[in-house]
Chains A and B, each alone.
Chain A
Amino acid sequence: MGKIRKRKNAGLMILSLIIFVTLVIMAGCQREYSNEEEDIYVVGVVMKSSTSEYWRSIRSGMETAAKEYNMEVVFFSPESELSEEAHEKMIRMLLRSDVDAVAVSAINSYGLADYFEQAEQAGIPLISYDTEFENETVPYIGIDNVKAGYELAKILSSELDHKGEVGIITGDLNQAAHRQRVEGFTEYMNKETDIKIAFIESGYSNRQMSEQVLHGIQEEYPELGGIMATSAVTAVGISDALAGEGVKIVTVDAQQDVFTALQKGQITAAAAQSGYDIGYETIRYIDKFRSEKVTEQDWILDAEVLNADNVDAYVSGHTRRVNNEEHSQ
């Protein structure tokens, strides 16, 4: 009898346990949860303009990187590259608005911008991309513009058998990128060749030279063998205008119309400055910076010199990313 009673008791206990568990599950299904608010890291980016493919690709690179590194990017750009005032005001506004970092492509690399102080006071890191500042304390992410100019000069000179006349059409010389390209180009031409630099026209950043002015130049310099245009937009325009006239053109920037011109032979060489890569690397730099792992002040990206022979390989083989091995820091 005792055994049977024990079994009965055990059975009752198990049954009541099951009921209890069921009730608990029923009651315990109170769906309460919460997400802690994440702190979003906001990067304010001021560009020089937003109209060309190059700038759009910078933006695209930045946006992609921002997703990967868990940041948000806000973009501001003035109406044109000439609006220095608006450009500066945008920087100041971002600094006032307490963003977490500011990335700037300088319109005036050489002025005494006092927003550096403002940034320091606010504790907001300021970095430059595409065009550097003369101020050494500001990090720079972009290509070595001096070297680019230098390499382009080499190629142009070899095309012209190291003699003859060339001209430079450049952007705003207040911008370090353009000034440095001219520097590099001039250095090579003057030191290593007998080529004479006939003229330097400036102010053509992201802007096309009018046909009128171009023909004026042609008339004035009939012996012109080659031109370096420091901005691709300008270069493409010139190459269209001078097509077939035997003037060799070299430029900087990797955009689709440049590739086409290279393939057609209308442009002799171009230093491939990939906007996407620059944008991407800028954000990656900021990410490293915020976790205090930056070892180098500046990140210099490669600018492969393209010509008709290697442009196809570049276009098809070039992933839209800079090789990570080169810049893993």
Chain B
Amino acid sequence: MKSIRSKILISIIVITFITSLAVTVVFYNRSASMVEEKYISIFQQQGQQTMERFDEAVKDICRININASCDPDLKDAIQRYQMGQNQEDLEQIADILRIYSSQNKSISSMYAVISGEEVLVTSRDYPTYRKVENMEAVSRAVYEQPVPSLNFDPVHEEVVVLTTVEEITDNEGNCIGYIRSDMEEGLIYYDYLAGAEEEAVSDMMLLNRQGGVISSTDRGLSGSIYDKEKEAFITGSDHENIYIRSKGIFSGCSLFVTAKKEAVLHDLRITGINLLGILFVFTVLALIPAVFLTSVVHRPVNKLSQAMSRVSNGDVEARAEVVSKDEIGVLAGNFNEMLEQIEKLIGRVIEEENRKKDAELEALQYQITPHFMYNTLNSIKYAAYIKGEKELGGIIGEFVELLQASIGKHGTFITVEEEIHMLKNYIHIQEFRYGGHFSVIYDIDPKISNCMVPHLLLQPLVENALMHGLDMKAEEGIITVSARESDGKLILKIKDNGRGLTSEQAAQLMNSKKQKTERFAAIGIPNIQERLRLYYKEEAELIFNSSQQGTTAAVSIPLEYSGEGL
């Protein structure tokens, strides 16, 4: 039987668990979102600041480069060199370059290209100048690109630089050379990228306008073109990473930072696991109040259920214990009331029955009083004797005795001797009535003639023998009445030699309560059986044996001598 207790318990646990789980998950996800957003915002700010710094540096370098290109001393020196190819002029140019390049520490080197000469002057200590082919064309090409452009250092060709180039013109506006300021990749990396690194950052890249890689955490990428199609160009996040893009306004360069969500959310994950642990602990703890709650509900229900079972099993006086003040308590109370009502109802019914019986009894008592009957009959008997009718008087006397025995209040039990005497009276009367004659043999063991038997025990059996067994006019009927002791029991037999009973008749005899009104007393075989059962329970018996030769009715009852208590 599935108990309501387990249902409630399971419901409470499930609801608690699901609610807590939902809260935990939602909370964790919200927190993770918040942490991510914060991180993204911080990274963005950092990126923005870095790129602003970078942009400022590029702007400043452009400005310095332009100012340098307008420097009159520089122009003079270049023009002098173009005239005289004097090394001193180159030295002077180098000095000027050094002065300008020192104005911003982000300038790693400045170069001057002199038109018409294949000479490159540097701001470095070594070399100060050298011969380089094709520098003019290269410089012109770079000059025409948007600022700043990605290039290689003219002296150390494997070094990636960010460049800005300006024309140097004479007073007539003719181009006499170019001046160029470079930012070396290595310096850029350490000035702008390295500082922003932290645990969570997995990748950083600085790209220029055209998607060329200026610098990145993967040092090998510098100078190459980055594949512009990758989605990393958006600021956002996917399942694994957070992507931040910051752009420099003037330089058009973009800084891409990739951070692993794992690392960013690392602490939060641990907190999440802790939360789950707490969740389970609390779910288990929730069992305690759950069990308590369940039994609070279950107990009154259980009590009521038990009471109902008891009642249905027959204990009408069972009552439900009212232990709570809720609906169950009300139910139990009503149940008890109902039982009270039923009890009262039963009581009334019994009372009703008793009153009916009393009424019947009273009705019975409106009949003729026995005393009147005896007196009248006795008067008739004396009158018969006076008239000389001895036989008639005798019959009347026997009748009176029979009446007294059956109606009178002598007690339920009489001796065998007295019962046989009544039997004789009855037989006489029957002989008188039917005019027939039949023989009766009495075989009574004198030892037990003092034993007690219920009165009117044998009379119905003899009546039975007479009615069913014998043909009374035939004058051949023999009835044997025997009373003997056997095995501690008193055996009384009525035997006739009549037709015998068919099994149908026997069954009818044993079962039908309504007897023919011809009988002496409104009692029959079933009555005998009932009375035997009533007095002796299982220790008495009534058995019929029948054949074509006759029927024997045998009664066996416990042996009780008169004077012994019954």
Interface residues of A (CB under 8 A from B): 18-19, 22, 25-26, 29-37, 40, 42, 44, 72, 74, 76, 78-79, 83, 85-86, 89-90, 93, 96-99
Output the least CB separation between A110 and chain B (Å).
17
**Inter-chain contact A40/B249, CB cutoff 8 Å:** yes
Q: Which residues of B contact A99 (CB under 8 A)?
A: 250
Q: Which residues of B contact A76 (CB under 8 A)?
A: 59, 62-63
> Which residues from 13 to 30 on chain B have a C-beta closer than 8 Å to any C-beta of chain A?
18, 21-22, 25-26, 29
Q: Which residues of B contact A85 (CB under 8 A)?
A: 70, 169
Most buried by A among B32, B36, B166, B167: B166
**Inter-chain contact B29/A26, CB cutoff 8 Å:** yes
**Inter-chain contact A86/B22, CB cutoff 8 Å:** no
**Inter-chain contact A74/B249, CB cutoff 8 Å:** yes
**Inter-chain contact B62/A31, CB cutoff 8 Å:** no
Output the least CB separation between A69 and chain B (Å).
15
Complex Cα spacing A188 to B62, Å? 45
Q: Which residues of A contact B25 (CB under 8 A)?
A: 22, 25-26, 29
**Inter-chain contact B70/A86, CB cutoff 8 Å:** yes
B236 located at the interface, meaning its Cβ lies under 8 Å from any Cβ of chain A in the complex: yes
Complex Cα spacing A98 to B235, Å? 24
Q: Which residues of A contact B62 (CB under 8 A)?
A: 76, 93
Complex Cα spacing A74 to B245, Å? 20
Complex Cα spacing A44 to B143, Å? 18
**Inter-chain contact A22/B250, CB cutoff 8 Å:** no
Complex Cα spacing A182 to B235, Å? 55
> Which residues from 142 to 179 on chain B have a C-beta closer than 8 Å to any C-beta of chain A?
143-147, 164, 166-167, 169
CB-CB under 8 A for A31 and B67, given A22-B22, A40-B249: no
Q: Which residues of A contact B233 (CB under 8 A)?
A: 37
27 example contacts (A-B, Cβ-Cβ < 8 A) are as follows: A19-B18, A22-B21, A22-B22, A22-B25, A31-B237, A34-B234, A35-B234, A37-B245, A37-B247, A40-B249, A42-B249, A74-B59, A74-B250, A78-B66, A83-B67, A86-B70, A89-B166, A93-B62, A93-B164, A96-B143, A96-B144, A96-B146, A96-B147, A97-B147, A98-B146, A98-B209, A98-B252
> Which of A32, A42, A97 sits near B238, CB closer than 8 Å?
A32
Interface residues of B (CB under 8 A from A): 18, 21-22, 25-26, 29, 32-33, 36, 55, 59, 62-63, 66-67, 69-70, 143-147, 164, 166-167, 169, 209, 233-239, 245, 247, 249-250, 252
Q: Which residues of B contact A37 (CB under 8 A)?
A: 233-235, 245, 247
Complex Cα spacing A78 to B22, Å? 64
Q: Which residues of B contact A19 (CB under 8 A)?
A: 18
Number of CB contacts from chain A to chain B under 8 A:
92
Output the least CB separation between A45 and chain B (Å).
11
Q: Which residues of A contact B239 (CB under 8 A)?
A: 30, 32
CB-CB under 8 A for A33 and B236, given A74-B59, A96-B147: yes
Output the least CB separation between A7 and chain B (Å).
14
What is the chain B residue whose CB lies nearest that of A79?
A: B67
CB-CB under 8 A for A97 and B234, given A19-B18, A31-B32, A74-B250: no
CB-CB under 8 A for A97 and B250, given A32-B236, A32-B237: yes
**Inter-chain contact B249/A72, CB cutoff 8 Å:** yes
Q: Which residues of A contact B67 (CB under 8 A)?
A: 78-79, 83, 86
Most buried by B among A18, A31, A33: A31
Complex Cα spacing A42 to B252, Å? 10
What is the chain A residue whose CB lies nearest that of B37?
A: A31
**Inter-chain contact B250/A31, CB cutoff 8 Å:** no
**Inter-chain contact B70/A34, CB cutoff 8 Å:** no
**Inter-chain contact B234/A31, CB cutoff 8 Å:** no
Complex Cα spacing A93 to B142, Å? 12
Complex Cα spacing A83 to B21, Å? 72
Complex Cα spacing A78 to B234, Å? 37
